[in-house]
């Protein structure tokens, strides 16, 4: 089934690959060089892109994820549906990022690649900046967890 034009435009592969790159960068920096488990890309996108969930996230990566999720059950209400609907777009974004060097990959992981400088005069909106900021936060927060399967389970998802 074709996606609405607005969804295709907003969630384009370049934007999503940069969002995942930000998460991978922050994950690696916070974890001492470990790479982001690729499966977490399918959680990062629906959390970072969903305004109400993005706004509800804690501000510090040392917040206990399980406790925070239990205290905010509203963030889980439609998360499985959002994750499922974004899955093909995230997959395309990962392929795009790999093809253009924005992302690197290894054994089931993603790492940040290189990005060229944004052209002069090309501004980003505050909402886009917030998506990138929260994606970076998620990378830092997820780096504090023992493994990707546990992280997904905390959010009510499975690989």
Q: What is the pLDDT of residues 52-83, one digit of tens each?
A: 999 999 999 899 999 999 999 999 999 999 99
4 secondary structure, DSSP code: P
Residue 1, pLDDT score: 56
Tokens of 71: 């205290």
Residue 124, pLDDT score: 77
Where the chain has pLDDT below 50, the residues are none
Tokens of 128: 């886009």
Residue 101, pLDDT score: 95
124 secondary structure, DSSP code: -
Q: Nearest Cα to 57, choosing from 71, 77, 40?
A: 71
Tokens of 25: 């960068």
Residue 2, pLDDT score: 61
Residue 33, pLDDT score: 95
pTM of the model: 0.91
Query: What 3-state DSSP class applies to 135?
Result: helix
């Amino acid at each position: 089934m074709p996606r609405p034009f607005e969804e295709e435009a907003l969630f384009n592969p370049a934007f999503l690959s940069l969002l995942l790159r930000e998460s991978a960068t922050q994950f690696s920096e916070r974890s001492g060089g470990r790479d982001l488990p690729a499966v977490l890309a399918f959680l990062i996108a629906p959390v970072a892109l969903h305004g109400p969930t993005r706004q509800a996230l804690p501000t510090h990566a040392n917040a206990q994820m399980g406790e925070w999720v239990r205290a905010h059950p509203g963030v889980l209400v439609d998360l499985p549906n959002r994750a499922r609907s974004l899955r093909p777009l995230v997959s395309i974004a990962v392929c795009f990022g790999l093809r253009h060097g924005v992302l690197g990959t290894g054994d089931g992981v993603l790492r940040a690649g290189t990005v060229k400088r944004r052209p002069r005069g090309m501004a980003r909106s505050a909402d886009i900046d917030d998506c990138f900021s929260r994606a970076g936060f998620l990378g830092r927060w997820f780096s504090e967890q023992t493994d990707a399967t546990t992280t997904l389970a905390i959010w009510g998802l499975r690989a």
